[in-house]
Amino acid sequence: MAAARILLTQRWPEAVEAALWRDYDTTILEHTLSVPEWRAALQEYDAICPCVTDRFVAELGETGPVKTRLLANYGVGYNHINLDAARQLGLTVTNTPGVLTDATADLAMTLLLMVARRAGEGERQLRAGQWRGWYPTHLMGAQVSGATLGIIGLGRIGLAMAHKAHYGFGMSILYHNRRELNDSAVARMGARFCANVDDLLQAADFVAIHTPGGQDTRHLFDARRFAAMRPHAYLINTSRGDVVDENALIAALDAGQIAGAALDVYEQEPRVPAALLERENVVLLPHLGSATLSTRTAMGMKVKANLDAFFSGQPVPDRVL
């Protein structure tokens, strides 16, 4: 029996590619799919393995009968895939939860520390030859140890960040979820549930976003939410770029409503507004949340596990649709 034909839109870690080449008729494009390319690929491949940059839009649901049966997404977030369109074509959709939890939480803590301690500013100053030596008021930042961290979305990644922040830095934890968690790990940290987002914002020194993307959370952080934050507070976002209204964020920074922001994701990736690039109190990273070799390899192996199950007629382990 011929091996299933699968399409990767980007290069993956070598170990994953080798495993896929062994078991599947694999094609690698190395670029983001356009709508016409999506349509052509749906007629040619048994499975397509998209990344966050590959947008499966609503109009693709009108493509008609297709050869593709599985979208095996490389990543835990899947708001770039229009599930109604996928359903219309009869596609199964999977993702890669769990394996990127610690890497993304580590990166969120990296952002928090960088923006609090003005690490980006300091490195730029030193590399530019502008550092004139130690003095008492040089690049004074915010204290992290003992501060209050507010987490929007205490799922796997949010909980991992809370654990690192509380036990590593003695931070007090506030969190907002759809409902209060009855979880022993949360109770041991003394994490306090805030049913209202604004209550959390009014009490937190740092606010970290860990919500899913999609219409329900688009521009969750808008002008009203920034106005509710404390003027010395910092925003950290490693979730999805469209959770934050970037124009509202820029206005809040200009008005001094918040002290700064640290971002790994953006509304129009890879485009980043010049008004953010120019600010010293904003830390900007190029979507590195899961970017460790072990994590990206594990993500790829998760995709392969879903492919293997699907094409052997077994239930896929990470089914989204």
Annotated catalytic residue within 55, 192, 269, 279: 269
Identify the CA nearest to 121 among candidates 284, 257, 291: 284
Annotated catalytic residue within 176, 210, 225, 240: 240
Q: Which residues of 19-52 are buried (b: 16+ CB within 10 A; e: fewer)?
A: bbeeebebeeeeeebeeeebbebbeebbbbbbbb
Annotated catalytic residue within 39, 69, 192, 287: 287
Which two tokens mark 5? 């034909």
Q: What are phi and psi of 145, to 5 degrees?
A: -60, 125
Asked if residue 63 lies in contact with residue 86, where contact means CB atoms within 8 angstroms, the answer is no
Which two tokens mark 42? 């749906």
The CA distance from 10 to 23, in Å, is: 18
Give yes or no: 123 in active site.
Answer: no
Kindly write down the DSSP assignment for every residue of 36-102, as one continuous string.
HHHHHHHHH-SEEE--TT--B-GGGGGS-S-S--EEE-SSS--TTB-HHHHHHTT-EEE---STTHH
Backbone Cα Rg of the chain: 21
Instruction: Write the DSSP symbol of residue 169.
Output: H
SS (H, E, C) 126-164: HHCCCCCCCCCCCCCCCCCCCCEEEEECCCHHHHHHHHH
Give yes or no: 39 in active site.
Answer: no
Which two tokens mark 234? 């910092």
Give yes or no: 269 in active site.
Answer: yes
Asked if residue 33 lies in contact with residue 54, where contact means CB atoms within 8 angstroms, the answer is yes
The CA distance from 24 to 11, in Å, is: 15
Active centre residues (catalytic): 240, 269, 287
